[in-house]
Structure formats: C-alpha cells, structure tokens
Structure 1
C-alpha cells in the first residue's frame, strides 16, 4: 500500500476529485469536510471520512492521528478547503469576512500544525495548499478573499524556506476560475450574475481534473525536487 494522503474540502470540487484520484493510484486517503455522508458515498477503498471543521484544531488532530494509526504517517496533506464570499467592502458583512479568514487562512494551519513537526523529523513529506490566482493579484469585489489568499501565499513561501533543510516540501497551487460550486457561497446575487457573465467570455473555467493533474505532477517529483508554485488558468482569462 502507498503512503497516506490527507485531503481537506473533500466533499466537493477539487478536493473530491483529488480524493478519488489518489485512491485510484493506491493511496489510503483521509477525507475531511463537514458533509461526511457525501464522502462516504464515494465508497473509496482504504479511506476514512471525517466531518470536521478545518478551523477546529483538536478534531483535526484527532482525525489525522486516527488515520495515521491505521495507515502510517501522513506523506501528503492537501489543504483544499476554502470559501469565496464576494462582496463590496462597504456593504459586505463582517461575518463573511471573518468566515473567509477563518477557513482560508486558519484552515491551512490546523492540518499543517498536526503533520509538519513529524515530517521534519522524518525528513520527508509534502504539504500542498490550494490557493488562487487571487493570491497574486486583486480583483473587484474580492478584497477580503484576495487578502486571505495573499496570506496563503505568504505563509506557504515562508514555511517552505524554513523547512527546506529538513527535506519537506510546501507547495502552493494557484488556479484561476475553476468549475466548482465555490461561487455559490457568495450571497450578493448581482455580483454572482456579473461573475457568471464574465465567465462566459472566457468559455467557462478550468475542469477540476486539471487542478488534480497539477497536484499529481508536483507530488510525484522526487522528494529532493520542490515545485514551489503552479499558476494555472484558462488561456482566455487575461487577469
């Protein structure tokens, strides 16, 4: 059996596709998301599904340790859970800002805190943070979302440097628009309509499989090779 892969946000979109793909490649998989039934219904062999909020450190640690007791130490953590709540800064609720900061920033820290020390002691392991092109440049109605993703990039790059001497890889994947349900989190209907109209101009977003391919490419490099960042978007997405 191959090494354990832990994936957050595994009940939909990129996270779900990653779980299925790593399972197909023979890895035991720990799937973490709030909707346990959806993950269980995937019926993946050698898998564990846990309903955990990624900002809940205690239960994140409990879930990961349970999987490690069964399958061995975590070789790959993919921090995929995220929310995108678009809004104008003078009208968007503070609660939406808070949720984005919690899930998008704190949500990559809980799992990382659980697995990183052990990876460093073993001189192996990989953490991949699924961020966004919005972590590299700003967009209208994205101010706090962009802020959360800029934080992901800064945390990833700084941590990568600090653990590189222990042969641990920390990588960020930065997609443009992807065909997921991420936009459905936004509560402003006008912003959603405008976003969808713009998306038509680039002939839809990327397929989740294309993001999975990027993760697979980075992970399958020798442990001595770190693909630090991949930025991927539709050719017609100019921004």
Structure 2
C-alpha cells in the first residue's frame, strides 16, 4: 500500500546527518528511499516504508536506477536530502592527490548526479524540494579545509544556480550549512594535524547533534511550497567563526 505522504530520498543515510534525517522524516510519516554504502546499516535502522539500497553516488546510472526502484513503491520523490559526502581534511600540499579525486567525485559529482536524477521530473510536476547539505566551510575558510572547503563552496554555487533556474517552476533548492557537528568524521582524516585542529575546535565550542540539523531540514521542507528558506547555517552557539 502506497504511503499517503510523498517520498523522501536521503543519501549517506547510514550515519550522521543522513541517519538522523531518515529517523526524523520517518517519525513525521514520510516513506523513504535510503541510499548508502552499507545495506546492512540502512536496513538496521528498521524504519517503516523504506526502500534501502546500496548505491555509490558517484555512479550516475546506479542513482537513476535507485530512484526508479523507490518510485515504483512509493511514487515520485518529492524531497531530496543530498547528504552523502566525505571530509578528508588537509592542506593541499600535504594531501594525497587520490583524496582530491574522492572529495571531488563524492562531494561534487555525487551531488550533481542526485540532483540531475530528480530535477527534470520535479520541474515537470512543478513541485519538489532539493536540500543540499554543505558546510560552514563552504562560506568561510578554515585551516586544513583547502580542498574539502572548495567542494563545499561548489555545493553553494551549484545550489544557487539551480535555485534560480528552478524557482520559476515552483521547485525549491535549499542549501544547509552545519558548523561543528557530532559526526564520525575524524576517522576519515588521515592528516594528524588536520584531525587535531578539528578536535581542538570541537573541544573548545562543543558540537551540535545531527538530530538538530535533521529537524532543521525537516522544518525547511515542511514549509509551504511557495516558501523557501534559501540558505540555512546551523552551528553551536559558541562557534563564533
């Protein structure tokens, strides 16, 4: 039986903000299309009315196929929480160039692949919301955030462009930029100095919960379709920069 609320697609749904978003939208009664690297983790969330698929967002054809599978069960995707990303922090000159490729492919091309898989149909229906998860590092420069920050500046730029092109078709494109958040990202930082810098900042000002970010995302989506919160930045109160 098809759910009465529209389908919400969440990438990187197995951990952090993606996981919290899946739980928040599920609690609000939305059916879900959950994409992530590990199918067992997605299914382990135990959320009702969920289609869980192991998909690499770098694979455009796999993303398109996943959308088709989710929509066959629950109807058109009305909201995309474009969350999948990595945070390999380092200075450019200290970073393994292989990490540049991963950052660009996942944080940039992955975002585009997911947007492209949904935008034409949303445009035709004149309804839908795309929420791109960026970072405060996409607005401000931080030490050891060289390439990572560049990918998040990209997310801001492409969101702004897409928002302007989709607005006449009543489709919303939103960017959400969390500051220091309680996430399992330090394990992805191979540069010890970058890891120490990130941890020192977290120790100094604290970190917000992924649940707080997820609830903000849900709030933005549940505004009337003719209302858009174009850009949202959410940080610990003590994060001054």
TM class by shorter-chain length? over 0.9
1:54 maps onto 2:73 in alignment: no
Determine the structure 2 residue equivalent to 1:147.
150
79, 95, 98: which one aligns with 1:95? 98
* Equivalent position to 2:215, from 210, 213, 216: 213
Q: Where in structure 2 are the equivalents of 1:17-36 lying within 5 Å?
A: 17-36=20-39
Kept after mapping to 1: 8 A contact 2:175/2:230: yes
Q: Distance in 2 between matches of 1:103 and 1:37?
A: 21
Shift of 1:63: 0.7
TM-score normalised according to structure 2 size: 0.97
Superposed displacement of residue 198, structure 1: 2.4
Count of aligned residue pairs for this structure pair:
238
Decide whether the 8 Å contact of 2:208 with 2:235 is kept in 1.
yes
How big is each residue's C-alpha offset from its partner over 1:191-214, in whole Å with a ceiling of 9 and x where there is no partner?
212321221111x21101110111
Aligned pairs (5 A) from 1:124-139 = 124-139=127-142
* C-alpha displacement of 1:21: 1.2
Matches of 2:107 and 2:168 in 1, distance apart? 27
Partner of 1:227: 229
CA contact (8 A) 2:89 2:194 kept: yes
SS in 2 for 1:178: coil
TM-score with structure 1 setting the length: 0.97
Cα RMSD between the aligned structures?
A: 0.9
Three-state SS of the structure 1 residue aligned to 2:8 is strand
**Counterpart position of 1:10:** 13
Query: Gaps (5+ residues) in structure 2?
Result: none
Match of 1:236 among 214, 220, 238: 238
Q: Give the C-alpha shift of residue 81 in structure 1.
A: 0.5
Report which stretch shifted further, 182-191 or 26-35: 182-191
Superposed CA deviations along residues 117-156 of structure 1, whole A, max 9, x for unmatched, are 0000000000000000000011111110110000000000
**Structure 1: how far apart are the matches of 2:163 and 2:237?**
29
1:183 Cα offset (Å): 2.4
Distance of 1:187 and 1:149 partners within structure 2: 19
Q: CA deviation at 1:90?
A: 1.2
Gapped regions of structure 1 (runs ≥ 5): none
3-state secondary structure, aligned to 1:90: helix
Separation in 2, partners of 1:139, 1:194: 10
